[in-house]
Structure 1
Amino acid sequence: MIPSLPRPAWLRASTVIYALVFFAFLFLPLLVVAVFAFNDAPYPAPPWRGATLDWFLGSAGTGKALGRQGLFADQALLGSLWTSVVVAGWVTVLSVLVGTANAFLIERTQFRGKQALSLLMLAPLVIPGVILGISILAFTSRIANLADDLYGLELEFLRPGLPLVVLGQFSYIVSIATLTITARLKRFDVTLEDAAYNLGASRAAVFTTITLPYLQPALIGTAAISFLMSFENFNTTLMLVGSDAPLTVMMYGRMREGATPVLNAVSLFLMGASALLALTLLRGAKAANSHPKP
């Protein structure tokens, strides 16, 4: 249909209904979680029993909060939250750095087997997270056992724990980082670099003043995607985690023991933090795009 022509009433109505149903499907569960994070009841579901902040600030001490340990008083939960932040930070740094190197390797060099290598980089994206985690665990455990048997070396970083969690998440998140940065690099006009070289600029100067500013929006977006994907990962993390459990594994264990509105409070806190992070990164990307091009 030509956009300038008037649409029939039934089509306009169906479009509005579809949009309402779609957004309700997306946001209604989040709204329910947010509301019942303040429910004055020991369960995270209807009916509504009144408003309270116990599930955020309760200290399981005396008074109304007796038996209610809120999010900000739960040291185990806060520790798992910090563990997830640390893991996501390492995964983000590694994914951005290696993804950038991969992008330049794919776009700026020619060698035999380049197409095959490009396809292999995408392989982790089609492997289920559980299978990926089990495969990494079996491979690294075999290497650690072999080193222990032959040389008496105890390679703890190859045992279940945070280094292995970082390695497992990085193994597939770096593929997404590579695709994102490569897509940006494809649109780069290499004649800008050639002109700078002709004017006597060094490789380092060209990269830092021309190439890197152009890639900055993609790098910011890649960092955001990598951090959030690492933070919310569960399948691969569950297979590789040791004694220090990230937040997703901790929440899974709490759910098995019996859900409380503390988990709703955690979810609301993460929704707010994710929204703040997204807005901050969007402003950064917008500022980077608004800079005059070289």
Structure 2
Amino acid sequence: MSNVQSISGQAASYNQRFYQPTWLQRLSDRLPRIGFALYMLLFFTYLMLPLGILAAATFNSSSFPTITPWLGTTLQWVDAMFKDTQMWTALGKSLLIAAGVIAISLPVGTAAALILTSLHGRSRNFLYALMVSPLLTPGVVIGIATLLFWRKTGISGGLFLTILAQSSFIISFVMLMIAARLQRFDRTMEDAALSLGASRAYVFRRILLPYLRPSLLAASCIAFLQSFENYNTTLFVRGTETPLTIFIAAKVRAGLTPAVNALGLTMMILTIGGAIGWEIARRRKRS
């Protein structure tokens, strides 16, 4: 027995000695991690480089938003941003439209998600296809169709029509996010509450709504962003109103100034600051 153990020990030491991984083998083992790190570096560079150029152009003395040539550091475009009343009016209209879109798309999308998760078979597939179809429709088509439909009632355009047109496809985003959350909902809690005499409204208010709160918040953010940045649909239904996206597009044609960059930098700072504050509050709540 001891001879067998000694022979196996000698064989193991022999293998460790003569079959150690070569540098090529070690490189091949590390190659996936190196490739992933390189991919993430390129990905974040692709995302952040335009934002960095936008921020840097805010402080260039050039009257055109560029960083080359660098004509000197200045804060005049930040001052011009605060003095541009047309820009702030356009921003206020975009915020008002986004608030209206959230007010419509959140309850309608939530109701559609609740109905979708309660159906089965062909009726479920039909409702899903019906609600998702606006996402597959070009924004130009949605804008023109909305304008032609409501023009028959005497409404030719404006903030009201813009809110309705944007809500027609943003509801689909809300529905998908809420439905994804409902897929993990434990229906036994709802059945237990109903069996103990609770009403449907009470179950929704005290059980289902708290469970959906994270998805409702995320869906509100997505709805806000989709509305705030929308251009194709808004262009056809805005009427005489000028939201921020239309204002910036007009500035590009007439002559863009770095004051718009200053507004973009301000929004970036507020967004990043809000995200950091939210993460800090979430971690403190967990701890």
Structure 1 unaligned residues grouped into runs of 5+ = 58-69, 145-154
Residue 22 of structure 1 corresponds to 43
Tell me, yes or no, if the aligned pair for 1:196 and 1:206 is still in contact at 8 Å. Answer: yes
Q: Does 1:131 align with 2:153?
A: no
Q: Pick the aligned partner of 1:49 from 63, 71, 74.
A: 71
Within 5 A, what are the aligned runs for 1:93-172?
93-109=103-119, 113-141=123-151, 143-144=152-153, 155=154, 158-172=155-169
Cα separation, partners in 2 of 1:117 and 1:165, compared to 1, 3 Å: same
8 Å contact from structure 1 (residues 221, 285) kept in 2? no
Cα 1:112–1:15 change in 2 (3 A) is: closer
Aligned residue type for 1:190: R
Which amino acid letter does the alignment assign opposite residue 268 of structure 1? L
What's the offset of the Cα at 1:49?
A: 1.7
| CA pair 97-135 structure 1, distance change in 2 beyond 3 A | same
CA distance in 2, matches of 1:220, 1:28: 29
Q: Take 1:283 and 1:214, find their aligned partners in 2: how far apart are those partners?
A: 22
Q: Does 1:34 align with 2:38?
A: no
Matches within 5 A, 1:201-240: 201-240=198-237
Per the alignment, residue 8 of structure 2 pairs with none
User: Does structure 2 retain, via aligned residues, the 8 Å contact 1:224–1:281?
Assistant: no
Compared CA separation, residues 160 and 285, structure 1 to 2 (3 A): farther
Q: Which one is further off, 279-288 or 171-180? A: 279-288
Query: 2: CA distance between counterparts of 1:281 and 1:219?
Result: 16
Deviation at 1:43, TM superposition (A): 1.2
1:68-103 Cα distance to aligned partner (Å, 9 max, x none)? xx1111111000001000000110121111111111
Would the alpha carbon gap of residues 283 and 131 (structure 1) be closer, same or farther in structure 2, given more than 3 Å must change? farther
- Structure whose residues are more often helix by fraction: 2
Instruction: Give the equivalent residue in structure 2 for 1:64.
Output: none
Structure 1 residues 99 and 11, CA gap change in structure 2 (3 angstroms): closer
Structure 1 pair 269/227, CA: closer, same or farther in 2 (3 Å)? Answer: same
Report the Cα distance in structure 2 between the residues aligned to 1:51 and 1:25, rounded to whole angstroms.
25
Count of aligned positions: 261
1:27-80 Cα offsets, whole Å, 9 max, x none, are 1011000111111121111211222111111xxxxxxxxxxxx11111110000
Q: d(CA) in 1 for partners of 2:222 and 2:278?
A: 10
**Whole-Å separation in 2 of the counterparts to 1:162 and 1:107:** 33
CA deviations on 1:108-146 (whole Å, 9 max, x unpaired) are 2469734212201111101111121112112222x22xx
1:51-90 alignment runs, 5 A limit: 51-57=73-79, 70-90=80-100
How far apart in 2 are the matches of 1:179 and 1:41?
A: 45
**TM-score under structure 2 length normalisation:** 0.83
Deviation (angstroms), 1:261: 0.7
- Over 3 Å counting, the alpha-carbon distance change for 1:103 and 1:73 in structure 2 is same
Whether contact under 8 Å (1:224, 1:278) holds in the other structure is no
Counterpart in 2 of 1:272?
269
Which of 1 and 2 has greater Rg? 2
In structure 2, distance between residues paired with 1:202 and 1:95: 26
Taking structure 1 as reference, are residues 276 and 170 closer, same or farther at Cα in structure 2, changes over 3 Å only? farther
Residue 283 (structure 1) shift: 6.6
**Identity %, equivalent residues:** 40
Q: CA deviation at 1:14?
A: 3.6
The secondary structure found in structure 2 opposite 1:211 is: helix
What's the TM-score, normalizing by structure 1? Answer: 0.81
Alpha-carbon spacing, 1:247–1:285, altered in 2? closer, same or farther (3 Å): farther
1:188 Cα deviation after fit:
0.6
| Deviation of 1:18 (Å) | 2.5
- Match for residue 92 of structure 1? 102
